[in-house]
Amino acid sequence: MRIVKATQARVPVRIDFAGGTLDIWPLGLALRAPAVTVNAALDLPITARIEPLPGTTIVLRSEDLDREARYTDGHALEAALEDGTCPLALLGRAVVASKPDGGFSLTSHAALPAGSGLGGSSALATALVGCLWAARGHRPGLAAIQALAQDVETRLLRTTTGYQDYMPPLYGGCLALTRAVGGLDIARLDVDLGALEARLRLAYTGEPHESGITNWGVVRAYLDGEAATADALETIALEAGRVAEALRAGDLDAALAAMLADGRARRTLAPGVTTPGIEALDETMRAAGALGTKICGAGGGGCVLILLPDPALHPHTGDAVDVALAAGPWEPLSLRLTETGLVLEPAGEDA
């Protein structure tokens, strides 16, 4: 079916609080403790915009990467993907999987660093799939968008992928994702997002990470029976459950304590999860009064979450941490949590 209307998709990315990696099959079904992943939608938006063009020409653009590629038709795009010459392979894979007919331009923009550990590529895949379907007049369910977006990214990476990165972009808010035999429960937690934001800071280390490599190292170690990895994953599962329960109860002190425990266990999962740069940031933040730090995503670089004490009891710590961040080699990022997930709306002349 042809692209019939100019459409824009907007999604947040995700910030993971606890239970990351448990969303990768088969880990969530193999552990003794329930596999809970707790995350939230972070308003560093990713957008995808599609506009119909006459004929069969397909134009792919990434505004943040300043790249563009043109193809005479879908067959030429598929050939470029197979021979590795498409410079915007995620956009191309989403197009091929969605099977639109005719000509169009597809443009993306991401408001975060590449390799941030915030699930940016998964959020982009989600936006692309939603946009491509909506522009043909379809209104698929969120579960269908997630399934195709994850397949697209897995096909691109050709390695293990989990489900957690797609959920905040789709649903928004703070979520507890529980994997059990037979399915996934997606529970929206009633959290005061403003109060939670006040206890957090976010910094990019300047070291892009490659989550597929790090995640596969963890999965392989677990399947090979490495006791240290298995013990760390069981600890992460237990602490993630505590984070979810504490957030449900509105106990931010307990939630942050469990996040830190998750973070300590995560550092022992596999070589390369933490780096000298991450450890230097942790030491500096603690010296400024922070409770500690938690690596975002699979680690190996990317972003680090900084956890702060109660501002009512320690009113100056946030400012001290901000000063230390500004003085270091790290890039502070905006940390605004949002209740809003995927938004699809007219674009261009239709807006």
- Over the stretch 231-263, which tens digit does the pLDDT of each residue have? 999 999 999 999 999 999 999 999 999 999 999
> Which tokens in the block code for residue 64?
């943040």
Distance CA 272, CA 319 (A): 31
**Is residue 152 a contact partner of residue 123, using CB atoms and an 8 Å limit?**
no
Letter for the amino acid at 224?
D
d(CA 143, CA 122): 14
The whole-number pLDDT of residue 350 equals: 44
Q: Report residue 267's pLDDT band, with 50, 70 and 90 as the boundaries.
A: confident
192-333 has CATH 3.30.1110.20 classification: no
Q: Tens of pLDDT along 70-127?
A: 999 999 999 999 999 999 999 999 999 998 889 999 999 999 888 888 999 999 999 9
**pLDDT for 84:** 95
More confident residue, 151 or 160: 151
Ranges 199-203, 213-217, 224-228: which has the least confidence = 213-217
Model confidence pLDDT, tens digit, residues 210-223:
666 677 888 888 89
Give the per-residue pLDDT at 211. Answer: 62
Cα torsion angle, 259, 260, 266, 271, sign: positive
* CATH numeric code, 7-188+339-350: 3.30.230.10
Q: Name the band, by pLDDT with cuts 50, 70 and 90, for residue 351.
A: very low
Q: Which two tokens stand for residue 313?
A: 């009891």
CA dist 90 → 95, 126, 163 (Å): 9, 11, 17
- Structure token digits, residue 147: 């399934």
Residue ranges of the domains in the chain?
A: 7-188+339-350, 192-333
- pTM (2 d.p.): 0.94
